[in-house]
């Protein structure tokens, strides 16, 4: 695994190293020692998978509040996504900064998202699957988010939005929130 810093943040793009032979490939997607060597204290607690059927769909922007703020590892195992994270930590030097990565199985990459970052993505292909390793369990009462089109944040999505859940459409703007 090769860990690549995203700007000055503690988020990381992780390049995986598939071992390829005539049968196909084998790729390590998790190694506690590799993460620890990078100074990342992350232990998966829960795994999730999402299938998004329609290109242009946005899921996000989501995060979980303290005391169960959630770090995660995200990778796209089918299709292709435009993945966006935003640092919403109140005392962070990268607060408000947007970090973007395109994830697809062919790129052999995944993204480590520290606790305190909002996460969302737009599908760039139909039938895109995203898998998550979560650093803490989901707690519905602490689940939070903000609108994908918040003008204060200014995310530039690459495609017109074709679908958005009612919940994601109802999130408030960050400027309306006490956390900002």
pLDDT at site 22? 97
- pLDDT of res. 27: 94
pLDDT at 49 over 90: yes
- Residue 180 banded pLDDT, cuts 50, 70, 90: low
Question: Nearest-CA neighbor of 72 among 43, 112, 110, 41?
Answer: 112
Q: pTM, whole model, 2 decimals? A: 0.95
Question: Does residue 179 surpass a pLDDT of 90?
Answer: no
| Centroid of chain to Cα 18 | 22
- 62 catalytic per annotation: yes
Count of CB atoms within 10 A of residue 127's CB? 12
Contact 128, 78 (CB under 8 A): yes
Residue 82 catalytic? no
What are the residues whose beta carbons fall under 8 Å from the beta carbon of 68, sequence distance 6 or more?
A: 136, 137, 139, 142
- What would the pLDDT profile of 65-116 be if each residue is shown by its tens digit? 999 999 999 999 999 999 999 999 989 999 999 999 999 999 999 999 999 9
The active-site residue, picked from 82, 112, 119, 132, is 132
**Would you place residue 23 in the very low, low, confident or very high pLDDT band (cuts 50, 70, 90)?**
very high
Whole-angstrom distance between the N-terminal and C-terminal Cα of the chain?
34
Average pLDDT across the chain, whole number: 95
Q: Is the peptide bond before 155 cis (omega within 30 degrees of 0)?
A: no
In this predicted model, which residue has the larger pLDDT, 139 or 90?
A: 139
Structure tokens at 6: 């995203």
Of 144, 141, 136, 146, residue with least CA distance to 171:
146
Catalytic residue (choose from 62, 112, 119, 148):
62
Angle at 91 between CA 58 and CA 47, to 5 degrees: 40
Dihedral in degrees, nearest 10, Cα atoms 89, 93, 96, 99? -100
């Amino acid at each position: 695994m090769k860990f690549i810093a995203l700007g000055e943040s503690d988020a990381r793009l992780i390049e995986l190293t598939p071992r390829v032979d005539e049968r196909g490939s084998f790729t390590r997607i998790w190694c506690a020692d590799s993460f620890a060597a990078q100074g990342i204290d992350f232990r998966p607690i829960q795994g999730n998978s999402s299938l998004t059927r329609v290109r242009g769909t946005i899921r996000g922007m989501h995060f979980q509040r303290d005391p169960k703020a959630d770090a995660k590892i995200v990778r796209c195992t089918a299709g292709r996504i435009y993945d966006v994270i935003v640092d919403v930590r109140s005392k962070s030097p990268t607060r408000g900064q947007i970090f973007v990565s395109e994830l697809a199985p062919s790129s052999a990459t995944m993204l480590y998202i520290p606790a305190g970052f909002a996460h969302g993505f737009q599908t760039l292909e139909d039938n895109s699957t995203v898998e998550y390793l979560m650093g803490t369990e989901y707690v519905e009462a602490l689940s939070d988010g903000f609108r994908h089109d918040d003008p204060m944040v200014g995310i530039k999505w690459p495609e017109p939005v074709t679908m958005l859940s009612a919940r994601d459409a109802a999130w408030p703007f960050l400027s309306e929130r006490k956390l900002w």
